[in-house]
Structure 1
Amino acid sequence: MLFLLNDVVFDLDEACPVTPADARRFEKLGFDYVLELGCELFAEDPLLHRNDPGRARRLAWLIAERSPEVNAALFAAPTAACNPDLVEPRFCTLPDVVMRQLQEKGRRLDAIAADRAVWNRLAA
């Protein structure tokens, strides 16, 4: 499964990003907790998806596990080290063809291209 986190596409079908023991531990976490965790992580580092792709991939995996219909998430933090309440999360479900097109862009995919293709935050 492909998952878009901000402007990075992760292939979650590759090796599981968590150990089986961690997966069992995470079973108890609800979507609200995962959402709060995502906001906290992006409040610390708004470029988490670029600066720590391993951690970002685990977050994407948690979101997909808790809400299987979701394959895209955006966590928009105004600044680094901001209050997690200021992070704006958004989620959506993208068609497989769109996800493959975004994946093909690879390193050329950036915040502006992802915004134009998915989020439309900069439009106005």
Structure 2
Amino acid sequence: MLFLLNDVVFDLDEATPVTPADARRFEKLGFDYVLELGCELFAEDPMLHRNDPGRARRLAWLIADRSPEINAALFAAPEADCDPDLVEPRFCALPEAVIGQLGRQEKRGRLDAVAADKAVWNRLAA
């Protein structure tokens, strides 16, 4: 399963990003907790998806595991070390064709924040 986190496409099927023991530990975490965790992580580092892809991939896995219909998430933080309440989260269920195209752009090094925004989030339009 492909998952877009901000402007990085992760293949969550490549290898499980968590151990079976961790997966059991995470079973009880609800979507609201995962959302709060994502906001906290991106409040610390708005470029988490680029600076720590391992943690970002685990977050993507948690989101997809809690809400299988979601395959895209955006966490927009105004600056590093900001209050987690200032992080704006968005979620989306992209058609397979769209996320597949984004994945191909990623592999060619052509997916960036502007391209992801135009294809999915439309935050820069105005």
* TM-score, L = length of structure 1: 0.99
Paired residues, number: 124
Q: CA deviation at 1:108?
A: 1.4
Query: 3-state SS of the aligned residue for 2:54?
Result: helix
- Answer yes or no: is 1:112 the counterpart of 2:114: yes
Task: Mark the runs of 5 or more structure 1 residues left unpaired by the alignment.
Answer: none
**In structure 1, how many angstroms separate the alpha carbons of the residues matched to 2:78 and 2:24?**
34
Match of 2:88 in 1: 88
2:51 is the alignment partner of 1:56: no
* Structure 2: tracts of 5 or more residues without a match: none
Runs of 4+ in 1 over 4 A off after TM superposition: none
Residue 101 in structure 1 maps to residue 94 in structure 2? no
SS at match of 2:80: coil
Asked if 1:46 corresponds to 2:46, the answer is yes
For 1:57-76, list aligned pairs within 5 A: 57-76=57-76
The CA distance in 1 between the partners of 2:47 and 2:78, in whole Å, is: 11
**Considering only aligned residues, what root-mean-square deviation do their CA atoms show, in Å?**
0.4
**TM-score normalised by L of structure 2:** 0.98
Q: Which residue of 2 aligns with 1:77?
A: 77
Identity score, percent:
85
Give a deviation string over 1:52-71, Cα, whole Å, max 9, x none. 00000000000000000000
